[in-house]
Amino acid sequence: MDEAIHDGVDILSLSIGYEPLFPETDVRDGIATGAFHAVVKVAATTLDRSFPTPLTLGNNRVILFHQFLMYTGPELGFTSLVYPEDPGNSNETFSGTCERLFINSDLTMAGKVVLCFTTSPYDTTVSRASRYVKRAGGLGVIIAGQPDNIIRPCYDFPCVSVDYELGTNILLYIRSSGLPFVKIQPSRTLIGQPVGTKVATFSSRGPNPISAAILKAGVVSITAAGSEESNGDSQFGWSDDEEDDGVENLVKLIKDGFPFNHSFFKGGASKSDVVRMREETRSEAEIRKTSKQKSSQSSGDVVDAESIAASVKGLLSGDLTRLSEELSRVGADLLRMATELKTFGAAFSTLQSSIVSNVEDMLKTYLAELVKNVTNPVILSPGPSMQHATPTVAVTSCNISNLGAYKSAHSEPERMETDMGDGMVEPLAGADVYVVYLGEKEHDDPASITESHHQMLWSLLGSQESVHESIVYSYRHGFSGFAAKLTESQAQQLSELPEVVHVIPNTLYELTTTRTWDYLGLSPGTSKSLLHKADMGRKIIVGVIDTGVWPESEMYNDKGYGPIPNRWKGSCESGELFNGSIHCNRKLIGAKYFVDGLVAEIGDFDRAENPEYASPRDFNGHGTHVSSTIGGSFLPDVSYLGLGRGTVRGGAPGVRLAIYKACWLQSGSCSGADVLKAIDEAIHDGVDVLSLSLGSKVPLYSETDVRELTSVGAFHAVAKGIPVVAAAGNDGPSAQTISNVAPWILTVAATTLDRSFPTAITLGNNITILGQAIFAGPELGFSDLAYPVSGDCEKLSANPNKTMEGKVVLCFTRETSVTPAVDAIVAVRNAGGLGVIIARNPTHLLLPTRNFPSVAVDFELGTDILFYIRSTRSPIVKIGASRTLVARPVATKVATFSSRGPNSISPAILKPDIAAPGVNILAATSLNDSLGVNGFSMKSGTSMATPVVSGIVVLLKSLHPHWSPSAIKSAIVTTAWKTDPSGEPIFADGSSRKLADPFDYGGGLVNPEKAARPGLVYDMATHDYVLYLCAANYSDMSISRVLGKATVCPNPKPSVLDLNLPSITIPNLRNEVTLTRTVTNVGPLNSVYKVMIDPPMGVDVTVTPMTLVFNSTVTKLSFTVRVTTTHRVNTGYFFGTLTWSDNVHNVAIPVSVRTQILQRYYDEN
């Protein structure tokens, strides 16, 4: 750079950069020093060009998708298509995962195109999957995963990329066809509409971790994004490097095109014009990330080269300044290209000044125009427009919560270990566990049903001895079926019997307080509260399917309880360290355990390595935590390491609890056969509500997939009036990772509370930074502070011990799991260090520490600490014990780990349905819990959010006993908060924070009091779900078996869009679509509701009629919704709301629309 300046260059272009760990004033960054300071930082977008690859399935369905894998070989004609899997063990071996294709036999893939799924980056996945398939003699590979944007050639080996939604569609085709085929054609070039522009997945995001008040990147270049780089053969670039070339050319246009003294355009002025003359449209909303959500303002947005070349006149910011057009982030009195608002504490005002220079006509008047932030009023006061003017910007914050400074903690459940003792049955050689699902039971005699199951197996196996060896469970209460050890051939023979609906390979499911209820407004303080009106849930029995219960916890005391309801048919089973006659009481009225499915699947448990109880007793505490969150009794003065102190209780503290242990420490999983048996028993026993804090891996398995067992059992429970509440999963923040997606299940996402645990970090210069930790203390006095050479948290062990001994160590990580924190703590402790400060993106993953401080900060604060270390010869730090901070200014956020939509299996079904607190929830646990303290622990996950909603469902069921499960679900979804309870916006945490949308939190944050009085409900009965099964291509025979009666689907088949859900999700709008909804009045008899529409951007929504009038005879009314799009390109999802209001009740449903001008088209672009 020094030589270039000397040589007289006019413009410098650098397609290189440092990682965000090192700041521009850091000794590692020479670029900023040489550039000082007029640097245009360039992010990357896609072009309006794609390379669609046609894929034709054997059912003649054609899928078009632009992909990162560009296939240039000859057409591959119709060829066998396979999804390799190990029946009965899929979740253990993951044989259909791209990275593990090698475990399949060559015969499985030889001569075929192979479908596989991945959650890993495509760089390694593509080469591995292609190599495995090629080596086995395969002819091609279809990879289903997350968007990538990076184009890599496949040359003559067909390698095709799709998203989870299309991948699941292909998987369902494979499983619905006896001989699946596929044809793959070479990639083609498509330019212009309907290809949309998006911010590239790989492009780094703000906010600026080094100087938070300076907006970066400066501009997003459409002229160079994803552009070709001509070097003989065409090659494709895929990074910000190509964007730098494009912006360099634009800056040259500005300098060359200006009609007078070019020297006027110093670096800052050229930069101002590039940023200012961004192209707002396509429409502005069509500039999008490649994930589900709307793009936030990408600094300067998209550059329009012609506009800039033609407008080398007009208003420019000065050398290093620009008046931000968004004014969405404002700092104080800094001459900067963009400004950023950082607030703490109460509402306040700040004044911002910037200088602009007039470079057009001498006599010119400019009026200020701005796009306002969500809640921040902005007053802009320009002075007289002379050659130079200094407008001032007054910004007043109305927010009273921190919307980004505090981080919360999340403790992952430990992997479960189990020991079941001796005497368990070894699995038959060559056999796996299958569930033979027969649908609705034909009569009510359990013994006769069991006998019929034995007869069916006897006809296959030939002897009663073989039947007894094979059968694991007989499902005979809620529905009919059995689990048995079968070979693949035997399973196939059974599946061909006319009375069999499905033969389902067994699968394994994953397990996914003091402040919670006050935060949600569910307080026992007044007699008019929902808690009192519902009598604490005393009339309700809730079934909890989980890891069991620790019955000695005081949260299960039955003081004040009356007799057990006569309708209860369950029992309390005895077993290892669990006496049914002692450990159950009038509150904990039932306890059973189910393990035969897991043992038949994986063999006997190893008692030495996996301690467990062969009984309903909970070993690791997960199930105890869940059930006590639902219905634990009042217990005062409880805390966790002194934090979060208060009265702990469940959401429905009077509810009766029935525990069904179907999840075990062995393999950290729940066998599908065991879970299905638990649901069957719970239906028989007489539970009113079912809570399942577990879920299967998605998108590999779906509710219409032969592996999904939870939704099968849940269907029969809901058909009998039992609401089923289940976890969304902990695979966020990636899109399309939601589990439990059946429309009859109430699926729960996780948010933070308005509670945090600030931990003071005081530097030697007397600056105090508040990080987040669960550190009990005592305070660590001033100690040496170090940032070692290997500063990644995962690599601290590579440093010499002496660099960390007796010191507090700062490290950085980009990982979102708990592993880096564990690695850092272990490395520093082993080296004799005194503590660790971990700088990272928000994850809500923080390990509780009793006397070893482990404090989390974000990159911005971590960089501040790094600055301090490098600015002093003897850096020191003091770390105080963590404190509890409740309510303002702590903001509510969707937790990073919470799985996100859209639903990859049934895209027109919105999931999740609702969100609830699931971070740092304090509840009872097992005394074996390694993170427990005095029988209590703080846990995080959608497993913890699920029982919060289950407790609320208990109260609603108690208050409205005749409401259907769908009515209860509707009441919860339509009354949810779109802000936190104090009115502050809810953000969704991830690699970049954004305002939450329906794919993050469904209808919003659960609002118990409002849900008790929804006004209107979107009700459904079993018939509605049958129409959904018809739309999902179930056969008449299969549906008839499920229902136990003859059923014929209508012709033409119904649309999933007409399912009477409390949401509207249109995944493929081309021109227009009309759908129907029906609402039932559950409020005052004489009510008039008028519609209010907040349409998604670029979408028109028309409702007919616009007024609904209810009276004593008219309690149910239907309306139509016509949805049209103004977009002319394929877009991502945009969100809106449709609300019916009578000025008392506001019945709001989320509206999510994706325009697909080119249908069945997956655009990686």
Q: Report, as residue numbers or ranges, the catalytic residues.
A: 546, 622, 943
Cα dihedral 704, 706, 709, 712, rounded to 10, equals 50
Q: 521 with 1009: CB under 8 angstroms? A: yes
Which of 63, 981, 46, 148 minimizes the C-alpha distance to 518? 981
Which element (helix H / strand E) includes 349? strand 349-353
Backbone angles phi, psi at 301, to 5 degrees: 65, -155
**In Å, what is the CA distance from 382 to each residue of 312, 364, 368, 557, 622?**
22, 13, 7, 68, 60
Chain centroid to CA 108: 34
Taking the C-alpha atoms of residue 339 and residue 353, their distance in angstroms, rounded to an integer, is 10
> What whole-number distance in Å separates Cα of residue 898 and Cα of residue 786?
34
Given the structure tokens 């048996």, which residue do they identify?
A: 677
Token pair listed for 677:
């048996």
Cα 692 from Cα 727, distance rounded (Å): 7
Pairing of strands 994-995, 987-988: antiparallel
Q: Could you tell me which of 521, 551, 776, 517 has the C-alpha nearest to residue 647? A: 517
Q: Of 942, 990, 994, give the one whose Cα is nearest residue 407.
A: 990
Q: Which of 23, 224, 1068, 950 is nearest to 544 (CA)?
A: 950
Which of 834, 836, 832 minimizes the C-alpha distance to 823?
A: 836
HSE-CB at 1153 with a 13 A cutoff on CA atoms is: 30
Q: Are strands 190-191 and 278-279 parallel, antiparallel or unpaired?
A: unpaired
710-742 in b/e form (b: 16+ CB < 10 A) is bbbbbbbbbbeebbbbbbbbbbbbbbbbbbbbb
Q: On the CB side of 1089, how many CA atoms lie within 13 Å of its CA?
A: 34
Report the C-alpha dihedral over residues 166, 171, 173, 179, rounded to 10 degrees: 140
Q: How far apart are CA 624 and CA 610, in angstroms?
A: 19
Q: Are 53 and 184 in contact (CB under 8 A)?
A: yes
- Indicate the burial class of 92 (C-beta count within 10 angstroms; 0-12, 13-18, 19 or more): middle
Count the neighbouring beta carbons within 10 Å of the beta carbon of residue 1050: 8
Residue 74: half-sphere exposure toward Cβ, Cα within 13 Å: 3
For helices 942-959 and 965-974, the axis angle rounded to 10 degrees is: 110
Interatomic CA distance for residues 613 and 1101, integer angstroms = 57
**What are the two backbone dihedrals, phi and then psi, of residue 1029, each rounded to the nearest 5 degrees?**
-65, -35
Contacts for 473 with CB less than 8 Å, ≥ 6 apart: 482, 483, 594, 596, 597, 673, 674, 676, 677
For residue 889, whether the previous peptide bond is cis, meaning omega lies within 30 degrees of 0, is: yes
The secondary structure element, H or E, covering residue 588 is: strand 588-593
Structure tokens at 474: 């007989």
Cα–Cα distance measured from residue 469 to residue 476, given in angstroms and rounded to the nearest whole number: 19
Single-letter code of the amino acid located at 1009: E
According to DSSP, residue 1103 is labeled E
